[in-house]
Every structure is written in C-alpha cells, then in structure tokens.
C-alpha cells in the first residue's frame, strides 16, 4: 500500500516587502514533484539548502497547502481531508523549538496526548513508556528550559510518537547533536520501521541516509533529480571508484589545473584549514593516480588512496552535475 | 465532541501550569489590581458613596478583567509563536478554537480574581460598604461576565494567530476597550457617536447587570433581565463569528505560511 502518494506537487511562496510600495515576489519552492512512499518504508529526502525538503514536509503534514498538485497520506487528501490525515501522522522538526519551555517534559507529553485525543489512561501509560524509550524518565519532572539540546530533541521524538502515528515525518532530527546523541536517535528511527511505521526523513548527513534509508529522493531547486535505493543510486553514476588525495597547502592554481586536466572525471575538493581532500571519481583509478602524482609535483601530498564511492560522492556528483 | 472537551480541559490545565510556572504571577495577581483600584479611588473621591462603591470595585475590577482576558490570550499566542509550538499544535487534530476557549476561560477567571481582590481591598482598607441584595442575580451576572470576557478572547484568537505582534495590538486594543465598556463611568458620558461601539461589547451589558444586581429584587427587574439577555445574545454572536473567523484564518495561514514567522 502507498502510504504517501504525491502527484505533481507544487508550492509557491509569495512574499511582500516594503511598507507603502509593496513589492511581491514569488519563490518556487517545490516544482511539480511526484513520488510514493510504501508502508513500512524509511524514505529519505536529500538536497541542498533551500531545495524544498521542509516545504514538502509542511505540505504533507497539512501545515501548508500546495499551490498545485495533489497528495494523499494514508489515502486521505491533505488539502480536503486534513483532519483525517492529522489523526494518523506526526511530525518532528529538528532543533529545540516547539516545546512549552516552562512546562516539564512530562507535562509537554500529556498536553500533546490530549490534543491528539489519546484516552487519558492510555496516555498516562504511553507517556511513561515513551519517556523511557528516549531515556528521559529520570528528568521527566524537570522544566524543558533546563534541558540540553539533545534532551529537547529526544523529547521531540517522544512527542512525535504520542499518538502512535502510522507515518512519521522527520525534518533533520539529528541536526546539531553530538555523535552519541545522533546515534541514539538513529537507533530509535530504525526501531520505528521495525514496528511497522513508515518514516519520511530529511537529512544533510549522507552517511546517516545511507545507513537508514530504504529509498532516497534527491531534491534540487524543488525538483527530484534522482530517486532510488542507496545501492542503485551508486550504480546510477556508473561503476566508478574514488581516488582520494590529501594535500597540504595546495595553491589555488594547482586546483584549477587539476580540474582542467581531469575533466572526464568528477573532481570535488574539500578544504580543512591548510589541508585539502581531493576526491576524483573515475573508472580508471590507476591511470588517474599516476596523473595526479604528476600534476601535483611540488605540492605536499600527505596521502593517496583508492576507495569505493560513498553516497556522498554520488550525491555531490548528482547535485553538481545537474545544471538545471 | 468528546475530543473537543478533552482538548478544552487540556488547554485549561496547560494554561494554569504555564501561568503558575511564571515567576511574576504573584505580582500580577496583587500589584496590578491594587493599582487599578487606586486609580478608581482617586477618580471617585468626591462621588456619593453608592456610586463610589460601584465604580471603584466594578470599574477597576472590569479593567483587571480586560487586561487579563486580552493580555493573557495575546501573550499565550505570542509565546506559541516564539517557542514554535503553534506549528506543532496546528497540525494536531485538535481544534484551535477549543484550545483558545480553554485558554480564554482561564484568563477570564484570573481576571475575576482581581475583581474579587479589589472588592476585598475596598472593604478592608477603604471602608467601602458592599451589600449584595440579590446574591443569585449577582452570581448569574458574574458568571455571564466571565463568559463575555472569555468569548472576546476567543473571538480575537484568530486575529492573534494572524499577527506577529499580538501583544502590541492587545495593548492598543485594551486602552480602547476601557473607554468603550464604561469601566470607570457610565457610558452615557460618551458622545453619542461613540456609543454604538460600547453597545456591541458583551461585557458592557454584563457589567451593567452586576451593577443592577446589588439592588434588591433584581431578578424581577426588567432592566436587569434585559442586560442579561443582551449579554447572552452578544455572546452567541461572538461565538459564531469566532467559529467562522477561525476557519477562514486557518485556511489563510496554510496559504500564506505566516504561522512560523516570529
Ligand atoms: N515561509 C516562507 N516564506 C517564503 N519563502 C520561503 C518560506 N519557507 C521557505 N521558503 C523558501 O522556499 C525555498 C525552499 O525552502 P525549504 O525550507 O523547503 O528548503 P529545505 O530543502 O528544507 O532547505 P534546508 O536544507 O536549508 O532546510 C527556499 O528558497 C526558501 O527560501
Ligand atoms: Mg529544511
């Protein structure tokens, strides 16, 4: 069964600026997107900042109306049957916002349970279980304003499960968390699909997406430019390997020279202080390795190796190659 | 309906939790009404004793109720925005109107507590004699006053949801309302062209009913009954308007995407 069905979904934001002479500006945030999410699937959406991921979530969770197109969640139209949709879903936006800061963790959950119409005896039991699930049972009686960011984000996970939703939308749930806290949340997300829940996830952590998602859509400027399993996405860019070179203090002109000389391969450079990591995606790693050594004469090369491509390599290539 | 009542109860409970969690609440409950009472005392120093009692107690009490009903509701909404909780509650199946109803009721009752407090201050320290000749009539009028104020909070909820500066608006609005509701003087002192504003405010009538209820035989007094009737009628009208406006507002917000703006 398709839990989420999206057809040609489009959203335009109209903003006005100025006081007396109002200037209107339209921003096309989501541009005719179509996809489906299956029951029990962990569906990921990736894409650069401003690609339209959050907007998609806001439409699917009935916070916003689409400008055009149609979407069904659990078989209900998000525009015309929002109440029916709301009963079966929940949403978690990353970050600490969205909690009653003067109330305790437990009070926050009890209030949300009532808003979702959870029967009070069930709510009592569920609140206790969820607090334990997210490891906040010991601090449940403390005000949220005293929570650390990680604790607030964990409370959000509990809040998002309070109505036992069939579909959970998560917008960057691990943003800004330390590795251990992020790991904790990832575990819980994985656990959810084990419970038969459908999860719609956005993230900028490609490793996380690779680990968790059954299928991934890559969004760019409001359009889906790729949609497949992580494995198939890798295949999409061909049977390539990555030559990774770490250099120290590589001058800018060398970099340009490298990109020009290797134009048949996809080159990306990441800079970490005085160090650079150059990743070259190629079908002929040996040839490229020799070429690079030649080209980088005079530059301090710390390390050079050939590795399998990661989802990040694939992502960068798809997003940067697509010139639309 | 069962879900609506659950939401309503939850909103009442949550508003109380949040009110009591604020360090300033004892101050709001004591100093503010005291200040209102003081203003009224000076204003009516030279008035005959009966007028004095009514206007000091009722006038400053009503001011406290306006301040609480409007201030409380707009503040709650500002806070929902600032904390980003409105974005979450908006997409729950709960009706925003029932949430607002719970909130408004709490703020109206808190307002009433200031009125009671002012009455107490007046009797104990200002030597004002308060006799309520028809307790039943008085109680009815007081209950309707709570309702009248709560419904105005409800009516304004959609407006507070739409604006990013709910608190500024309520500030401007409440000054305006002090004047129109005749809290410190009978509205007959207002120029004719201003009076219609007063007539459409439900508390104008319920406060008048309270004033009349201190006299004997109020329940049989047609003037009293008319004021009660008008309060009920206007309350119904406000409810209908609130319900209609809320639907329009929510639709508008889903298009304008303004709800997340702070
Ligand atoms: N309320 C709004 N009003 C006007 N424009 C908006 C609004 N919200 C988002 N936008 C614009 O819509 C586009 C898509 O934004 P969106 O937040 O959906 O992107 P995103 O993919 O979630 O980005 P990020 O990775 O940075 O979270 C952007 O150009 C953004 O500026
Ligand atoms: Mg986003």
Q: Scanning every residue of chain B, which has its alpha carbon at the shortest distance from the alpha carbon of A112?
A: B89
Q: What number is the ipTM of this complex?
A: 0.87
Q: Ligand 1: which residue has its CA nearest to atom 12? A: A29
Could you give the strand order of the β-sheet that contains A241-248, starting from the edge strand earlier in sequence? A266-272, A275-282, A241-248, A300-308
Is residue A38 within 8 Å of residue A198, measured between CB atoms? Answer: yes
CB atoms B9 and A13 under 8 Å: no
Distance in angstroms (rounded) separating the CA atoms of residues B180 and B195? 7
Distance in angstroms (rounded) separating the CA atoms of residues B33 and A215? 61
Q: Residue B23: CB partners within 8 Å, gap ≥ 6?
A: none
From the CA of A204, give the closest atom in ligand 1.
25
Chain A: give the shortest CA distance to residue B82, in Å: 9
For residues B175-194, b (16+ Cβ closer than 10 Å) or e, as one string? eebbebbbbbeebeebeeee
Higher per-residue confidence, A318 vs B90? B90
Q: Which ligand is nearest to the CA of A24?
A: 1
Query: Alpha helix (H) ranges present in A134-275?
Result: 149-160, 179-194, 206-212, 230-236, 252-261
A 74-133 residues with CB below 8 A of B? 83, 86-87, 89, 91, 93, 97-103, 107, 110-112, 114-117, 120
A 151-210 residues with CB below 8 A of B? 159, 163
Distance in angstroms (rounded) separating the CA atoms of residues A148 and A102? 14
Q: Residue B98: CB partners within 8 Å, gap ≥ 6?
A: B4, B5, B7, B8, B11
Nearest to A102 among B21, B89, B256 (CB): B21
Residue B188 is classified by DSSP as: G
> Which residue ranges have their beta carbon within 6 Å of ligand 1?
A 13, 15, 27, 29, 47, 49-55; B 257
Nearest to B14 among A63, A86, A111 (CB): A111
**pLDDT at position A322, please?**
66
CA atoms within a 13 Å half-sphere pointing along the CA-CB vector of B15: 27
The pick from B90, B257, B260, B261 for probing ligand 1's pocket by mutation, whose C-beta has the most ligand atoms within 8 angstroms, reads: B257
Closest CA to A33 of A69, A9, A57, A61: A9
Give, in degrees to the nearest 5, the angle at Cα B175 between B169 and B176. Answer: 85
Chain B: give the shortest CA distance to residue A173, in Å: 15
**pLDDT at position A145, please?**
94
Instruction: Look at the alpha carbons of A140, A145, A151, A152 in this order and tell me if their dihedral is positive or negative.
Output: positive
Residue B153 has pLDDT above 60, yes or no: yes
pLDDT tens, chain A, 324 aa long: 789 999 999 999 988 777 777 788 899 999 999 999 999 999 999 999 999 999 999 999 999 999 999 999 999 999 999 999 999 999 999 888 999 999 999 999 999 999 999 999 999 999 999 999 999 999 999 999 999 988 999 999 999 999 999 999 999 999 888 888 889 889 989 999 888 899 999 999 998 999 899 999 999 999 999 999 988 888 877 778 888 889 888 888 888 888 888 877 788 888 888 888 888 888 888 888 888 888 888 888 888 888 888 888 888 888 887 665
Chain B: give the shortest CA distance to residue A215, in Å: 26
Residue A24 contacts B where some CB pair is shorter than 8 Å: no
Q: Scanning every residue of chain B, which has its alpha carbon at the shortest distance from the alpha carbon of A11?
A: B255
Residue B55 has pLDDT above 80, yes or no: no
Residue B97 has pLDDT above 80, yes or no: yes
Residue B61 has pLDDT above 90, yes or no: no
Nearest to A63 among B21, B22, B91 (CB): B91
Give, in degrees to the nearest 5, the angle at Cα B158 between A102 and B255. Answer: 100
**pLDDT at position B134, please?**
83
Give me the percent of chain B exceeding a pLDDT of 90: 28
Q: Backbone phi, then psi, for A306, in 5-degree steps?
A: -110, 130
CA A49 to each of CA A56, A172, A203, A219, A319: distance values in angstroms, whole numbers, following the listed order: 13, 12, 11, 10, 12
Which residues of chain A have a CB within 8 Å of the CB of B87? 63, 93, 98
**A222 CA → ligand 2 middle, Å:** 12
A 251-310 residues with CB below 8 A of B? none
**pLDDT at position A39, please?**
93
Q: Ligand 1: which residue has its CA nearest to atom 8? A: A55
Q: Scanning every residue of chain B, which has its alpha carbon at the shortest distance from the alpha carbon of A111?
A: B10
Per-residue pLDDT tens digits for B235-255: 999 999 999 999 999 999 999
Is residue A214 within 8 Å of residue A232, measured between CB atoms? Answer: no
**A30 CA → ligand 1 middle, Å:** 9
Nearest to A97 among B18, B83, B92 (CB): B83
Q: Scanning every residue of chain B, which has its alpha carbon at the shortest distance from the alpha carbon of A67?
A: B255
pTM over 0.90: no
Tell me the mean pLDDT in the region B4-17: 95
Which helix (H) or strand (E) element contains residue A49? none
Size of interface A-B (CB pairs under 8 A): 82
**pLDDT at position A257, please?**
83
Strand partners, A200: A43, A169
Per-residue pLDDT tens digits for B173-209: 666 666 655 555 555 566 667 667 777 788 888 888 8
Is residue A148 within 8 Å of residue A120, measured between CB atoms? Answer: no
Which helix (H) or strand (E) element contains residue B248? helix B222-256
Find the helix packing angle between B96-125 and B135-162, rounded to 10°.
Answer: 130
Q: Which of A57, A84, A114, A160 to mutate to test the interface with B (most CBs of B within 10 A)?
A: A114
Is residue B203 within 8 Å of residue B58, measured between CB atoms? Answer: no
Which residues of chain B have a CB within 8 Å of the CB of A163? 92
Q: Ligand 1: which residue has its CA nearest to atom 3? A: A13
Per-residue pLDDT tens digits for A133-166: 999 999 999 999 999 988 999 999 999 999 999 9
Nearest to A100 among B2, B83, B94 (CB): B83
Higher per-residue confidence, B26 vs B248? B248
**pLDDT at position B74, please?**
86
Record the tokens describing residue A241, joined without a space: 């390997």
**A55 CA → ligand 2 middle, Å:** 7
Residue A104 is classified by DSSP as: B
Q: Residue B239: CB partners within 8 Å, gap ≥ 6?
A: B151, B154
Residue A19 is classified by DSSP as: S
Q: Residue A145: CB partners within 8 Å, gap ≥ 6?
A: A101, A102
Of B47-51, B59-63, B129-133, the poorest mean pLDDT is in B47-51
Q: Which of B254, B256, B258, B260 to mutate to test the interface with A (most CBs of A within 10 A)?
A: B254
From the CA of B258, give the closest atom in ligand 1.
1
Higher per-residue confidence, B137 vs A8? A8
Record the tokens describing residue B26, joined without a space: 């004892």
């Amino acid at each position: 069964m398709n839990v989420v069905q999206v057809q040609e979904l489009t959203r335009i934001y109209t903003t006005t600026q100025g006081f007396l002479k109002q200037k209107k500006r339209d921003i096309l945030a989501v541009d005719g997107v179509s996809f489906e999410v299956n029951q029990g699937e962990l569906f990921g959406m990736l894409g650069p900042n401003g690609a339209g991921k959050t907007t998609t979530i806001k439409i699917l969770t009935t916070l916003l109306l689409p400008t055009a197109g149609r979407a069904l969640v659990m078989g209900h139209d998000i525009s015309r049957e929002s109440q029916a949709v709301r009963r079966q879903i929940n949403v978690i936006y990353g970050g600490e916002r969205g909690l009653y800061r003067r109330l305790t963790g437990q009070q926050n959950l009890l209030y949300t349970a009532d808003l979702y119409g959870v029967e009070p005896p069930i709510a009592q039991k569920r609140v206790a279980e969820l607090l334990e699930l997210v490891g906040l049972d010991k601090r449940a009686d403390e005000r949220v304003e005293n929570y650390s960011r990680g604790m607030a984000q964990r409370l959000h996970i509990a809040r998002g499960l309070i109505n036992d939703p069939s579909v959970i939308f998560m917008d960057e749930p691990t943003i800004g968390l330390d590795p251990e806290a992020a790991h904790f949340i990832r575990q819980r997300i994985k656990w959810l699909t084990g419970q038969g829940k459908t999860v719609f996830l956005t993230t900028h952590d490609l490793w996380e997406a690779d680990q968790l998602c059954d299928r991934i859509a890559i969004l760019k400027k409001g359009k889906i430019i790729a949609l497949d399993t992580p494995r198939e996405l890798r295949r999409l860019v061909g049977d390539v390997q990555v030559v990774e070179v770490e250099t120290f203090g590589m001058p800018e002109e060398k970099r340009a020279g490298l990109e020009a000389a290797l134009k048949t391969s996809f080159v990306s450079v990441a800079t970490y202080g005085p160090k650079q990591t150059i990743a070259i995606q190629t079908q002929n790693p040996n040839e490229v390795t020799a070429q690079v050594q030649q080209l980088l004469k005079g530059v301090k090369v710390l390390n050079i190796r050939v590795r399998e491509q990661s989802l990040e390599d694939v992502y960068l290539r798809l997003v940067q190659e697509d010139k639309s | 309906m069962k879900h609506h009542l659950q939401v309503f109860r939850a909103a009442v409970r949550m508003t109380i939790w949040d009110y009591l969690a604020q360090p300033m609440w004892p101050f709001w409950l004591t100093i503010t009404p005291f200040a209102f009472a003081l203003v009224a005392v000076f204003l009516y120093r030279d008035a005959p004793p009966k007028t004095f009692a009514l206007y000091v107690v009722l006038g400053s009490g009503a001011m406290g109720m306006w301040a609480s009903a409007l201030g409380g509701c707009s503040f709650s909404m500002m806070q929902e925005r600032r904390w980003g909780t409105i974005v979450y509650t908006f997409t729950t199946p709960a009706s925003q109107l029932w949430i607002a109803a719970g909130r408004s009721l709490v703020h109206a009752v808190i307002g009433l507590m200031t009125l009671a407090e002012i009455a107490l201050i007046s009797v104990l320290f200002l030597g004002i004699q308060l006799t309520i000749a028809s307790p039943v009539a008085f109680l009815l009028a007081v209950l309707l006053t709570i309702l009248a104020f709560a419904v105005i909070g409800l009516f304004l909820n959609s407006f507070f949801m739409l604006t990013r500066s709910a608190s500024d608006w309520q500030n401007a609005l409440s000054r305006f309302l002090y004047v129109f509701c005749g809290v410190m003087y009978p509205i007959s002192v207002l120029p004719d062209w201003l009076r219609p504003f007063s007539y459409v405010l439900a508390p104008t009538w319920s406060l008048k009913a309270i004033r009349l209820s201190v006299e004997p035989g109020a329940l049989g007094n047609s003037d009293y009954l008319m004021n009660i009737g008008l309060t009920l009628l206007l309350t119904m009208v406000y409810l209908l308007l609130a319900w209609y406006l809320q639907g329009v507002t929510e639709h508008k917000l889903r298009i304008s995407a303004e709800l997340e703006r702070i």
